[in-house]
Amino acid sequence: MEGRTRTVILGAGYAGLRAAMELDRLLGVRHPGKEITLINKHNYHQFITRLHESAARGDTGDEDVRIPLAEILGGRDIRLVKDTVTRLDRNRRQVETEGGAHGYDYLVVSLGSLPEFFDIPGLKEHALTLRSLNTARMVRTHIEGMFARFKNVVDPWERNGLLTFVIGGAGLTGVEVAGELADWVPELCRRYDVDPLEVRIINVEASEDILPGFAPDLVEYARNLLGEKGVRFVTGTRIARVKDTEVRLGSGEVIPTQTVIWAGGIRGNPLMAEAGLTVQGRGRAVVNEYLQSVDDPRIYVTGDSAFTVDPESGRPLAPNAQLAIAQGKVAAYNIYADMKGLPKKRFRPQSVGVLASLGPGKGIGMIKTVRAKGLTAALAKEMVPVRYLYSLGGIKLLAKKML
């Protein structure tokens, strides 16, 4: 392709940011007609995998889970546009935003995901979610507000359920929120002079057990550890209905509560289906082995936006940060290869493992063939953001963020 080549990347999450940086690196500073535009709703990059800390850990501030994009992209030939995407126009090959339109030759869609509420009555209206730094801040403020209200309310009927926190979904996010909250509760009780026995943390999971994908002995460790901290797990039943003062489970149990934190599922951004892209798996765009939309080879889809299948098992891959980063790199290379007339790379997922925090200093993990729990897993989990920061900006960015 001769002349100017416009690559537009939507979303500066794990996949989109990596795609932009990798394409910039591959093309180099002297590539004629190079034009990379990164469009993101915020002017910062969020560490989505640490939002549970911001939501339910008292000592975690906003700056611990975000970093200005300017600090990451400084010195790179990437144009950052802070805007909200409103429409994908495939016929005109342009992206419409609240602030205007952006034409493209190649498009990378990395718009993340939205909560999937499964048409459960009242859930969307009453539940808190963990989608962003802003929603995490809302969860934290709400939890503290419940303790403050409980302290100031005398009527037992009005107090009922104020300090009952229901977490929907016992996958990685749900369990990590439960663990952080359980460790934060003693501090909140001291601050607001509340008896810890008044507090209930209930994690509800429709499947028969928690933490799918972890070895049974690690799941048992997590159950026992969090159980000792006061977390009650309710498995094998789903949340059937949510009202402003109660949650009804499929088993028939009614839980008085004014706090539901939903971590039970995600779906793709509806802009993809509206653009006519084939979607599956709760609205995620179907891609081929090169991460191109099956409907349009000029559109690459990565991260939570993509419906990808493991070529060995044939099963859909669950979205996660590790997968998103790898997809961002492959999408960037394939755009570069197309520009240069080189063969494209097939995306082959390679997981190095999975880690879960169970509160400060505790965790579980499966790193390839090695299983870890307790402090060892927690330390390994703490190293993940360190390595990630280094990959974004080397020792300079790491030192600036960590010191």
Q: Domain check: are 178 and 224 in the same one?
A: yes
Q: What six digits make up the tokens of 18?
A: 């990596």
Report the share of the chain in percent with pLDDT over 70: 98
What pairing do the DSSP bridges indicate for beta strands 231-235 and 239-243? Answer: unpaired
Residues in the chain: 403
* Residue 122 near residue 243, CB atoms below 8 Å: yes
Long-range CB pairs of 244-252 (<8 Å, 24+ gap) are: 244/126, 245/161, 246/161, 247/166, 247/204, 249/204, 250/206
- Confidence band of 403 (pLDDT split at 50, 70, 90): low
Q: What is the total count of domains within the chain?
A: 2
Q: What six digits make up the tokens of 45?
A: 């990059």
- Determine the Cα–Cα distance for residues 236 and 247; give it in Å rounded to an integer: 16
Establish how many alpha carbons lie within 13 A of residue 52's alpha carbon, considering only the half-sphere containing its beta carbon. 23
- Confidence band of 60 (pLDDT split at 50, 70, 90): low
* Residue 346 near residue 289, CB atoms below 8 Å: yes
Q: Domain check: are 346 and 301 in the same one?
A: yes
pLDDT value at 74 more than 80 = yes
- What mean pLDDT comes out for the span 333-344? 96
| Of 10, 4, 81, nearest in space to 300 by CA | 10
- What mean pLDDT comes out for the span 345-350? 94
Q: Domain check: are 274 and 308 in the same one?
A: yes
3-state SS class at 82: strand
* Residue 161 near residue 256, CB atoms below 8 Å: yes
Write out the residue range of the structural domain in which residue 306 sits. Answer: 5-41+83-115+266-350
Question: Is residue 55 in a domain?
Answer: no
Question: Is residue 191 in a domain?
Answer: yes
Q: Domain check: are 187 and 271 in the same one?
A: no
Residue 184 phi, psi (nearest 5): -85, -25
Question: Is residue 371 in a domain?
Answer: no
- Stated as kind and residue range, the H or E segment containing 104 is none
Question: Is residue 294 in a domain?
Answer: yes
pLDDT value at 58 more than 90 = no
Last residue of a domain, one of 350, 371, 389: 350
- Confidence band of 271 (pLDDT split at 50, 70, 90): very high
Say which CATH number the domain at 138 has.
Answer: 3.50.50.60
- What mean pLDDT comes out for the span 44-55? 92
- Determine the Cα–Cα distance for residues 177 and 189; give it in Å rounded to an integer: 18
Q: Domain check: are 244 and 194 in the same one?
A: yes
Contacts of 385 (CB under 8 A, 6+ apart): 47, 50
The answer to whether 158 is a known catalytic residue is no
The catalytic position among 71, 125, 158, 176 is 176
Q: Domain check: are 246 and 308 in the same one?
A: no
Question: Is residue 395 in a domain?
Answer: no
* Residue 277 near residue 181, CB atoms below 8 Å: no
Say which CATH number the domain at 25 has.
Answer: 3.50.50.100
pLDDT value at 1 more than 80 = no
Last residue of a domain, one of 239, 262, 285: 262
- pLDDT, residue 62, reads 74
Q: Domain check: are 137 and 257 in the same one?
A: yes
pLDDT value at 82 more than 80 = yes
Q: Domain check: are 295 and 194 in the same one?
A: no
CB environment 317-327: b (16+ within 10 A), e (fewer): bbbbbbbbbbb
- What mean pLDDT comes out for the span 96-106? 98
Q: Domain check: are 303 and 320 in the same one?
A: yes
Q: Domain check: are 302 and 319 in the same one?
A: yes
Residue 47 phi, psi (nearest 5): -90, 85
3-state SS class at 307: strand
Last residue of a domain, one of 243, 262, 281: 262
- Per-residue pLDDT of 132-159, as tens digits, reads 999 999 999 999 999 999 999 988 888 9
Residue with tokens 């093309």: 27
Question: Is residue 356 in a domain?
Answer: no
